[in-house]
Structure 1
């Protein structure tokens, strides 16, 4: 495998005409929403660490195969700090503690706590990356967080809650935010595929202590649970994290984080269609608020790029083509 020492600049399209980055962001949101449905099945047969490792193994194999076919090689040395940070925090810690946390608290509590992640992303990206906090982003995030809280409250009461579970979901939110902010600078020195592949590989290595549990759980797990774990690795991980990185390279971390507030609304819809779980009117209202907030946060002023202010020309990422 060869090493690429220089990043290839992305081709900047005219503002409002490049549909690829918005389409990538939408793909990520849809696939991440579908992950909640699959986790419910796989999580009944696999422990949190085993499920995370199995998912990451499937994702790493899929991404590695594509990387070899495309012959992209290794990213530049400058990308590795961000790759390691995102790999350890987001691919590794986040997936384990979220799986664990959702076994300790009801879905509503988990949704409310984890959804502080986009807020933390906006704050960290403003302080560390100097992205600023546009008014429309703040307003949109406030509306979306309110919607997520409504969804969470409407779903609460269907399971037990514990202090440990709340703490785990809080750790998941912090790990998610730290991983995103760490990944953003790495995308200046490598493609979305490179950054995602080696971030996923880093998370896999970090989760190897769960290998014995994974083997044990796989021996007893039904085929449907194992297939759901593989699905999680190939689509919500390999594909969705790559499309996420592609879009993130072309906008701010704060705006991308706000986009994920559409996930709760899509989870409600998918649960209705796939699991025959009819949502309450309160839940539907919360989902609509989430989508409204995302719409507000994605609006842009004059002269802004297609993804609401991404400075593609001034800060060109590598060729970035969940």
Structure 2
């Protein structure tokens, strides 16, 4: 096997693993919207955030000890701590709060306005540009999200405060992704995730006494939900997200998460009885289609080769 072929195979394998990691992330994050709604009946927003991050930090600590990577310094450390405060801490608290006023599907679609912000910023300021598949996919997926918003869900209890909180979480999400993308240029995915998670955990420690009191009175199902949020959507999903983000463009990765609202609506239908409308179902299908298009690589033009008639060799 030639060296060039070996390098191509490694690049293809890395790309395939990044896609698998992205799919895992999307599924776990979509499920979190449903579980947050369920756990929110027993825990307040801050207490749930602290409890979730405590579990996630414990899992990530075990992984970090095994990898034994050095803690970043200087600007890289500041970026990791910054996105930890914005994404792990502030985002988590505000999302929990928003879902006390929104159904799971609506919360998911408001939060996932962030991929549009990420794609625009990354294209303008991070040199990622605007490949045609990405632009077309985002337009289709965003149109689907709008249909979901217009359709709503049966029995929804959305209010203005919930919508405002959902949009704020979208901004925090976008800022966190962009800061993380820059940090991942010099920091490995495992270190970036566990340091960010611990930064978020420290920021939510004021809610620790409240969390202890509420967990003491919580049902076994609510406690299991907190454990799931910490292990799945926090520890595992943020690791797979960081892995995939370090191997692809921020805009393309963010566009992939536009599938989250469609999946969240389906899960909330099954587990919470929040029935989507016909518009919601069509919008979900469009969102998934748009994501599939955005993940396609732009077609590269093959340079034309001039067809030349070979000269006849002289006869001896």
TM over 0.5: yes
Tell me how far apart the structure 2 counterparts of residues 237 and 245 of structure 1 sit (CA, whole Å).
12
Question: How big is the shift at 1:276?
Answer: 6.1
Structure-to-structure mapping, 1:255-270, within 5 angstroms: 255-270=252-267
Which of these residues, 35, 38, 52, is aligned with residue 35 of structure 2? Answer: 38
Structure-to-structure mapping, 1:114-133, within 5 angstroms: 114-133=111-130
Structure-to-structure mapping, 1:136-285, within 5 angstroms: 136-156=133-153, 158-275=155-272, 279-285=276-282
Structure 1 residues 229 and 65: CA distance shift in structure 2, 3 A: same
> Aligned pairs, how many?
294
Structure 1 residues 111 and 221: CA distance shift in structure 2, 3 A: same
Higher helix share: 2
Question: How big is the shift at 1:79?
Answer: 2.1
Q: 1:64 and 2:61 equivalent?
A: yes
Tell which deviates more after alignment, 271-280 or 53-62.
Answer: 271-280
1:100 paired residue number: 97
Which of these residues, 16, 21, 38, is aligned with residue 24 of structure 1? Answer: 21
The answer to whether the Cα contact below 8 Å between 1:49 and 1:96 also exists between their aligned partners in 2 is yes
Q: Cα deviations across residues 256-275 of structure 1 (Å, max 9, x unaligned)?
A: 11000111222233334545
The answer to whether the Cα contact below 8 Å between 2:37 and 2:100 also exists between their aligned partners in 1 is no
Query: TM-score, normalised to structure 1's length?
Result: 0.84
The answer to whether the Cα contact below 8 Å between 2:145 and 2:287 also exists between their aligned partners in 1 is yes
Question: How big is the shift at 1:279?
Answer: 4.3
Q: Cα deviations across residues 50-90 of structure 1 (Å, max 9, x unaligned)?
A: 11111111101100111102222423544212201210111
Which secondary structure does the structure 2 equivalent of 1:74 belong to? coil
Structure 1 residues 55 and 12: CA distance shift in structure 2, 3 A: farther
Which of these residues, 67, 70, 74, is aligned with residue 71 of structure 2? Answer: 74
1:51 paired residue number: 48
Structure 1 residues 101 and 278: CA distance shift in structure 2, 3 A: closer
Flag structure 2 segments of 5+ consecutive residues without an equivalent: 1-6, 302-316
Higher alpha-carbon Rg: 2
Query: TM-score, normalised to structure 2's length?
Result: 0.86
- Cα RMSD of the aligned pairs, angstroms, is 2.2
Question: How big is the shift at 1:157?
Answer: 6.1
Flag structure 1 segments of 5+ consecutive residues without an equivalent: 1-10, 305-322
1:315 paired residue number: none
1:314 paired residue number: none
Tell which deviates more after alignment, 146-155 or 290-299.
Answer: 146-155
